[in-house]
Amino acid sequence: MIEAVTEANLDEYEAFVQSHPKGHFLQSHPWSRLKSDWGWDAFLYRRGDGGIAGSMALLSRKVPGLPFTLCYGCRGPVCDPHDAEAVSALLAAARDLAKKRRAYIVKIAPDLPVDDEQFAALAVAAGFKPAKKTNNFETIQPRFVFRLKTEGRTPEEVLASFHQKWRYNIRLAQRKGVTVRVQGQEALGEFARLMAETGERDGFVVRGQGYFQRMLSAMGQHARLYMVYVNDTAVAGAVAIHYGDKVWYLYGASDTAHRNYMPCYLMQWQMIQWALELGCRLYDFRGVSGFVSEDNPLYGLYRFKKGFNGDFTEFIGEFDLLLRPWVHRLVTRGKRLSVTLRMLPHTLRRKKRQKAKADETAKPSCAQATEE
């Protein structure tokens, strides 16, 4: 039986999602408070005895300029993915909601490995189709992550499992006097500054201070802002989320001037220790590229996270229930144009830096000039 989540059963819903192995903060009600410009609907699936066997939360957002919406169930449904009755009921409920919300598409991205053919068959039977596979960050949520098993392990055991160079860098940061502190919203200005510098350096669009302020408020005790200092100067920072049996490294930033202090290595170790203190099952480093090559500009991110010896995990990806194909085509084209325009300043600055570097390389050095 499907039951809509209301104020009356919201606590029951949250308790179920937090306790389930497939529970995820993106399926939580606190996360919906951050997405205030989205609608939020959730369902419970109950067996005949009244026990909860599954749940599903969907965010819905109106397409600008059109009378249609996108429905998005990220990391849902939360249930045994091979329970045909529960999966079918929850996906059918998502379809019914989509019709009420005039959705052109229902998109889900389950917390499942890529080889889960049994769930894929259930989703296809419900009318969903696998979206095109990607290697980098083209999807709303990353398809590739590193996940570190923390359950039943001591800090000493986890630290010993890191790559030798990573352990050295953690100790080096400590010797250099680097400190990591859990801060409140008073440090968000510093964090936003570091995010802006990181985005400029690495060529991606970043969130502003207001977004992170809303995130810390919405997630409450589930969120922590970690800040890293060298002589009281903020040199790196991260937002971590704890929900259920997992901790996620959600956002991170660092300056360029203090990279030789290895602040991000010590910061990761502090966040991993939070997962250990809480008795969590997993610490999730979040997204990396699935295209593992030194020629890939994202290889540095992959290498950094790999050194902590987590498991390289490929998710099953997105599944789409396409209700109005022509709207989907229109929105897809609009998104491509929007991304291009948003990235244009970064693209132009990057090309300018590359040209300046090439021009500098082409100039003879002092030694060369003397020899000539």
Select from 286, 291, 290, 330 the least CA-distant residue to 305: 286
Q: Of the candidates 101, 86, 110, which has an alpha carbon nearest to the alpha carbon of residue 38?
A: 101
Q: State the pLDDT at residue 204.
A: 81
Close Cβ partners of 123 (under 8 Å, ≥ 6 residues apart)? 87, 91, 108, 130, 319
Residue 37 to residue 284: CA distance in whole angstroms: 27
Which domains does the chain carry?
A: 2-132+317-345 (3.40.630.30), 151-280 (3.40.630.30)
pLDDT digits (tens, 9 = 90+) for 159-176: 999 999 999 999 999 999
Dihedral (C-alpha) 181, 186, 189, 190: value to the nearest 10 degrees? -20
CA distance 304 to 163: 10
Q: What is the pLDDT of residues 68-99, one digit of tens each?
A: 999 999 999 999 999 999 999 999 999 999 99
Is the pLDDT assigned to residue 360 strictly greater than 60?
A: no
Average the pLDDT over 184-205 and give the result. 93
Q: Residues 340-360: what's their mean pLDDT? A: 58
Q: Which pLDDT value is given to residue 363? A: 43
What pLDDT, on the 0 to 100 scale, is given for residue 18?
97
Helix, coil or strand: residue 88:
helix
User: 224-243: per-residue pLDDT in tens?
Assistant: 999 999 999 999 999 999 99
- 8 A C-beta contact, residue 145 and residue 287: yes
pLDDT at 366: 38
Distance CA 10, CA 41 (A): 11
Mean of pLDDT values over 345-371: 51
Range 116-120 contact pairs with CB under 8 angstroms and sequence separation of 24 or more:
116/81, 116/316, 118/81, 118/82, 119/81, 119/82, 119/87, 119/316, 120/316, 120/319
**Residue 72 confidence (pLDDT):** 97
User: How much is the pLDDT for 135?
Assistant: 80
Quickly count: other Cβ atoms within 10 Å of residue 180's Cβ. Answer: 22
Q: CA triplet 236, 240, 242: central angle to 5 degrees?
A: 165
Return the minimum-mean-pLDDT range out of 116-125, 148-157, 189-198, 355-364: 355-364
Under the banding of pLDDT at 50, 70 and 90, the label for residue 368 is very low
User: Is a pLDDT exceeding 50 seen at residue 372?
Assistant: no
Q: How many C-alpha atoms does 11 have within 13 Å on its Cβ side?
A: 1
Read off the pLDDT band of 353 (50, 70, 90).
low
**Residue range 345-369: average pLDDT?**
52
CA distance 225 to 184: 7
Buried b (16+ CB within 10 A) or exposed e, 42-59: bbbbbeeeeebbbbbbbb
Confidence of residue 297 (pLDDT cuts 50, 70, 90): confident
Report the mean per-residue pLDDT for the chain.
91
**Distance in angstroms (rounded) separating the CA atoms of residues 13 and 78:** 11
DSSP code per residue over 92-157:
HHHHHHHHHTTEEEEEEE-S-BTT-HHHHHHHHHTT-EEPPP-SSS-SSS-SEEEEEE-TT--HHH
Whether the pLDDT of residue 345 is over 70: the answer is no
- Asked whether 5 and 93 are in contact (CB, 8 A), the reply is no
Nearest to 68 by CA among 105, 41, 36, 108: 105
Q: Provide the 10 A C-beta neighbour count for residue 239.
A: 23
Residue 344 has pLDDT above 80, yes or no: no
**Would you say how long the chain is, in residues?**
372
d(CA 209, CA 239): 12
The C-alpha atoms of residue 107 and residue 91 are separated, in whole angstroms, by: 11
